Copies of this chain bind each other. A is one copy, B any other.
Amino acid sequence: MNTEERYRRGWEKLKEVDGEVGERVIDSLKDIAPDFARYLIEFPFGDIYTRPGIDLKSREIAVVAALTALGNAAPQLKVHIQGAINVGCTRQEIVEVIMQMAVYAGFPAALNGLSAAKEVFKERDAAGKG
């Protein structure tokens, strides 16, 4: 496979998972680090997300859990809460995963994760999305 195919495959997966929020992330990199936008499409989405062996829903559960636990990447957590819904997670499943992080990363991490979820759900409600 050549680099061009990998990029195209990554771009399609990015749109499937993150939708227009993902595209906005890519856009925001255009003037400061355009190559980084390309890597972001190629490696995480072209290489990793397209792998078989685990379903997309489980991949997004893993990301929501990790970003909640790390607690230092709020914008990306919000993108992936959207992504989790896009690939079939219910709001309840997302809330369960974030709540569970209280056990592994403490209550503050879980509380801040729930705030992020609340904002995303509100934005979706305002946009008439489920």
**A residues whose Cβ falls under 8 Å from a Cβ of B:** 1-3, 6, 25, 28-29, 31-33, 35-36, 39-40, 43-44, 47-48, 51, 53-54, 58-59, 61-73, 75-76, 92-93, 95-112, 114-115, 117-118, 121
Contacts of A53 in B (CB 8 A): 92-93, 95-96
Instruction: Report how many copies the assembly holds.
Output: 6
Q: In the bound complex, do residue A73 and residue B76 qualify as a contact, i.e. CB atoms below 8 Å apart?
A: no
Interchain nearest-CB distance for A64 vs B (Å) = 8
Q: Which of the residues B1, B31, B100, B106 comes within 8 Å of A62, measured between beta carbons?
A: B100
What's the Cα separation between A93 and B53 when bound, in Å?
Answer: 6
What's the Cα separation between A103 and B56 when bound, in Å?
Answer: 15
Q: In the bound complex, do residue A100 and residue B48 qualify as a contact, i.e. CB atoms below 8 Å apart?
A: yes
Q: Which of the residues B43, B48, B71, B97 comes within 8 Å of A73, measured between beta carbons?
A: B71
